[in-house]
Chain A
């Protein structure tokens, strides 16, 4: 059974810092990995999708990498802003076709 772990569970940083959020998974036989953002009381917003054959994806200040063989992905946030404060979730889709989620990293960026 696929297990997904996200580290750290919580992070509080001053505005402007570059951040790295980590996601690890136990079964490397995946189709893709997706990073989401969730604001308090809201739904999940897709940030980036990395296909199993890809090494990284970029969108604006966000860059996600994937090392399938080691079962790891990182989400890099450049020049963090208070508006980046949210919970970040990664989801892995493998042979069962079911997106399996980590518990998320709760990020606070203070001015």
Chain B
């Protein structure tokens, strides 16, 4: 398997523009997580999906952020409008079916977002 695939790898956009980040989880994985990483705050969970359903979105900063998972093989994180403080690396992760002790989390390579 190719692992968790994120696109784009880098995104530079102007303040106020809409940004869409994409994630393809590992086939067969039923849990998907979006994280944001900054120097100040480390890795923060934004939203967690299980079987394509959002379970916990308490980490989504504000209404400018939205996430969808229309099917088991695709998820998007959208920021509209973007602001300079959204600049960060955004990671997507997936875990296998089941929520037991042997469910290892696999991460994508991340999308480095810069809002100018």
Interface residues of A (CB under 8 A from B): 31-32, 34, 36, 41-46, 49, 51-53, 89, 91, 93, 96-104
The 3 closest A-B CB pairs, nearest first, are A51-B101, A43-B109, A44-B107
Judge whether A49 and B104 touch: CB under 8 Å. yes
6 A-B contact pairs sorted by A residue (CB < 8 Å): A34-B104, A34-B105, A44-B93, A91-B105, A102-B42, A104-B42
Q: Which residue of B lies closest to A32 (CB)?
A: B101
| B105 contact set on A, CB distance < 8 A | 34, 46, 91, 93, 99
Main secondary structure of the interface of B (DSSP, over half): strand
Interface residues of B (CB under 8 A from A): 31, 33, 35, 42-43, 45, 48, 50, 55-56, 91, 93, 99-110, 112
Q: Which residue of A lies closest to B31 (CB)?
A: A97
| A96 contact set on B, CB distance < 8 A | 56
| A103 contact set on B, CB distance < 8 A | 42
Judge whether B99 and A97 touch: CB under 8 Å. yes
Main secondary structure of the interface of A (DSSP, over half): strand
Contacts A98-B33, A101-B43 given; indicate if A51 touches B110 (C-beta within 8 A): no
| B43 contact set on A, CB distance < 8 A | 89, 101
CA distance A19 to B29 in the complex (A): 34
Contacts A49-B102, A93-B103, A96-B56 given; indicate if A101 touches B108 (C-beta within 8 A): no
| A104 contact set on B, CB distance < 8 A | 42
| B101 contact set on A, CB distance < 8 A | 31-32, 51-53
Q: Which residue of A lies closest to B41 (CB)?
A: A103
Judge whether A32 and B102 touch: CB under 8 Å. yes
Judge whether B107 and A43 touch: CB under 8 Å. yes
